[in-house]
């Protein structure tokens, strides 16, 4: 091994571009986004659209347009930068903005991921709350000490796993996506006859017209909880587009998409958007409205535990606990990493523990999940200017005759243009919000454009307009050394072998069959319930078989995954 390769070996892998032999195919990203964007919080978002008074037409069309816009944002903004650089946003930002900007950005990430983790813990706690017959928490503050104890118990588990067992949870999360898909499809099928009986006096939905009528009368009525006209098509589009601005316009998902073999793999985010956000949000709205009919309460008086149990029985409580838990772990892990980058003299375990304590305290306050989408929109507004700075440097600078990585070439530890642009972008965005000049959900767009203009002008004045031929030659030589280092790594690594053993294949087959049985019982409940008494019998059968199949699925799928892991490492 040469001296250059020895030197590169001691650099953390995260600081280097992703090696060619570690790139992933499109199936990897389909599964990744399907798993990440189908979570327990979909129950919250689905109910939010009902409470805000959207019409059924606005939901069906607006969510489709908004989520397609989100997919296009990943495809044409995030993925090209990730694939061309093979760097995470954090590493790229360090190259173009220096230490001060990176430190501020890490603080922003600590705040954002702490709040998201807290919301997930609270959502998981609603399932345990329901099982223990603790009253629903409808205020912004906790009103029952037992609920606080439940949150603390759930939160402690999340913190400990994020500290010591995150890899195991990440692997487990990968098998959740197919089951979550089945559950979000099954829930509306199971509750639709109840809604149909309440609206049209029969349990059978005979046509698309019946479905639209039922949805318009009992789910998306066009009136909010105060009986006033609700949000319209434009708001629904913006709502669904803005929900993930952190990851696409804010470029957080460069960390994932830098592993994509092709730029076109950005389209794989549709697995999360068009199912996880489109179908799942619609499904959750139907489940929420159906539960409201069953328990004779307003949808605003229900939490995810209520909705999931009445729609899916015990399997619903499993959804809320597992999906909330795994999502909380991933985000708390991110928050711990960001905190460790700030306090570099502390271990990641220690920073994760300290951030986790704050997270659990926040999770005791139910507002973190009831106001989750506005919180995510504000979080997006916080980081979108950073995405604009990176977008400017990567896409626009070469076209404008400016030098990419000029701050690194000048060996600047603190890039004042980057810090000033971020600050001015935040002032601009939040001023627009305060003046109420446009819909809250679209604020990220003018903020992004404003920051691009400001950063380009400031960078041009501070050195981006200069040329750095010597430094660029050194950078090109360094990239060649990294490629040679990765080539040697690839030659020394044996490709992973697929586990084709009979028992492993049988376990996988059992897992898929259990999902098929679950769907079959849901279809039976929806289409073969001639009257309300037969419907209740079919729904009860679904609850029993769905829970049994849930146990079988997770047992066989996890066992098969464990065997594959052992086979690959043997």
Domains of the chain, each with CATH number or no CATH: 24-493 (1.10.4160.10)
Q: What is the residue whose two structure tokens read 């979909």?
A: 42
Determine the Cα–Cα distance for residues 228 and 236; give it in Å rounded to an integer.
Answer: 17
With beta carbons less than 8 A apart as the criterion, state whether 430 and 381 touch: yes
With beta carbons less than 8 A apart as the criterion, state whether 422 and 389 touch: yes
- Predicted confidence at residue 168, as pLDDT, reads 62
Determine the Cα–Cα distance for residues 383 and 106; give it in Å rounded to an integer.
Answer: 11
With beta carbons less than 8 A apart as the criterion, state whether 74 and 266 touch: yes
pTM of the model: 0.86
For the chain, the distance separating the N- and C-terminal CA atoms, rounded to the nearest angstrom, is 27
Half-sphere exposure in the Cβ direction for 522 (13 Å, CA): 24
With beta carbons less than 8 A apart as the criterion, state whether 36 and 176 touch: no
Six token digits for residue 96: 């173009």
Q: How far out from the chain centre does Cα 140 lie?
A: 23
With beta carbons less than 8 A apart as the criterion, state whether 243 and 444 touch: no
- Predicted confidence at residue 504, as pLDDT, reads 85
With beta carbons less than 8 A apart as the criterion, state whether 291 and 191 touch: yes
* Cα 318-324-325 angle, rounded to 5 deg: 90
**What is the per-residue pLDDT across 471-525, written as a single tens digit (0 to 9) for each?**
888 888 887 787 777 777 767 766 666 666 788 889 999 999 999 999 999 999 9
Half-sphere exposure in the Cβ direction for 563 (13 Å, CA): 17
Determine the Cα–Cα distance for residues 87 and 84; give it in Å rounded to an integer.
Answer: 8
- Structure-derived torsion over alpha carbons of residues 309, 313, 315, 316, reported in degrees to the nearest 10: -20
Phi first, then psi, for residue 55 (nearest 5°) are -85, 165
Six token digits for residue 418: 């980057």
Nearest in space to 412 (alpha carbons), one of 344, 464, 456? 464
**What is the per-residue pLDDT across 406-422, written as a single tens digit (0 to 9) for each?**
888 888 888 889 999 99
Q: Is the dihedral of CA 393, 398, 400, 401 positive or negative?
A: positive
- Predicted confidence at residue 189, as pLDDT, reads 92
- Predicted confidence at residue 165, as pLDDT, reads 60
- Predicted confidence at residue 5, as pLDDT, reads 54
Task: Report, as ranges of residue numbers, the positions in the chain whose pLDDT lies below 70.
Answer: 1-15, 39-41, 165-173, 300, 369-370, 373, 490, 493-500, 568-570
Burial string for 356-392 (b: 16+ CB within 10 Å, else e) reads bebbbebbbbbebbbebbebbbbbbbbbbbbbbbbbb
């Amino acid at each position: 091994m040469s001296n250059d390769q020895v030197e590169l070996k001691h650099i953390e892998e995260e600081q280097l571009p992703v090696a060619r032999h570690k790139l992933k195919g499109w199936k990897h990203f389909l599964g990744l986004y399907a798993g990440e964007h189908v979570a327990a919080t979909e129950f919250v978002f689905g109910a939010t659209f009902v409470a805000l008074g959207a019409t059924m037409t606005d939901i069906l069309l607006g969510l489709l347009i908004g989520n397609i816009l989100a997919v296009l944002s990943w495809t044409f903004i995030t993925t090209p930068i990730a694939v061309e650089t093979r760097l995470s946003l954090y590493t790229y930002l360090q190259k173009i903005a220096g230490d001060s900007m990176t430190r501020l950005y890490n603080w922003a990430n600590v705040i954002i991921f702490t709040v998201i983790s807290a919301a997930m813990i609270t959502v998981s706690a609603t399932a345990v709350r329901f099982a223990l017959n603790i009253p629903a928490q409808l205020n912004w503050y906790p009103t029952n000490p037992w609920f606080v104890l439940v949150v603390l118990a759930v939160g402690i588990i999340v913190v400990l796993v994020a500290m010591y067992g995150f890899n195991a949870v990440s692997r487990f999360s990968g098998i959740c996506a197919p089951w979550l898909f089945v559950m979000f499809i099954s829930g509306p099928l199971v509750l639709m006859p109840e809604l149909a009986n309440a609206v049209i006096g029969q349990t059978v939905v005979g046509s698309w017209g019946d479905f639209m009528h039922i949805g318009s009368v009992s789910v998306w009525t066009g009136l909010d909880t105060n009986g006033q006209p609700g949000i319209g098509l434009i708001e629904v589009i913006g709502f669904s587009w803005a929900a993930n601005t952190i990851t696409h316009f804010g470029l957080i998902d460069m960390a994932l998409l830098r592993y994509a073999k092709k730029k076109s793999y950005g389209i794989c985010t549709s697995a999360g958007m068009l199912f996880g956000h489109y179908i799942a949000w619609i499904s959750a709205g139907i489940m929420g409205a159906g539960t409201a009919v069953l328990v004779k309460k307003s949808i605003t008086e229900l939490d995810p535990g209520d909705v999931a149990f009445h729609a899916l029985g015990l399997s619903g409580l499993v959804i809320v606990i597992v999906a909330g838990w795994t999502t909380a772990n991933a985000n708390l892990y991110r928050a711990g990493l960001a905190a460790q980058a700030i306090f570099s003299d502390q271990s990641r375990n220690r920073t994760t523990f300290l951030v986790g304590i704050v997270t659990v305290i926040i999770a005791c306050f139910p507002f973190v999940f009831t106001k989750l989408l506005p919180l995510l929109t504000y979080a997006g507004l916080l980081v979108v200017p950073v995405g604009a700075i990176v977008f400017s440097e990567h896409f626009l600078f070469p076209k404008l005759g400016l030098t990419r990585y000029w701050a690194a070439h000048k060996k600047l530890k603190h890039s004042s243009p980057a810090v000033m642009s971020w600050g001015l972008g935040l002032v601009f965005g939040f001023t627009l919000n305060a003046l109420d000049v446009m819909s809250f959900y679209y604020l990220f767009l003018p903020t992004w454009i404003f920051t691009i203009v400001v950063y380009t002008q400031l960078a041009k004045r501070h050195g981006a307009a200069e040329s750095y031929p010597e430094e660029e030659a050194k950078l090109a030589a360094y990239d060649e050394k990294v490629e040679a280092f990765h080539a040697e790594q690839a030659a020394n690594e044996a490709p992973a072998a697929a586990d084709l053993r009979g028992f492993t294949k049988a376990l996988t087959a059992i897992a898929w069959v259990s999902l098929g049985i679950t769907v079959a019982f849901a279809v039976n409940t929806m289409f073969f319930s001639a009257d309300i008494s037969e419907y209740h019998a079919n729904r009860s059968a679904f609850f029993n078989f769905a829970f049994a199949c849930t146990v079988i699925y997770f047992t066989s799928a996890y066992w098969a995954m464990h065997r594959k892991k052992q086979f690959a490492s043997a």
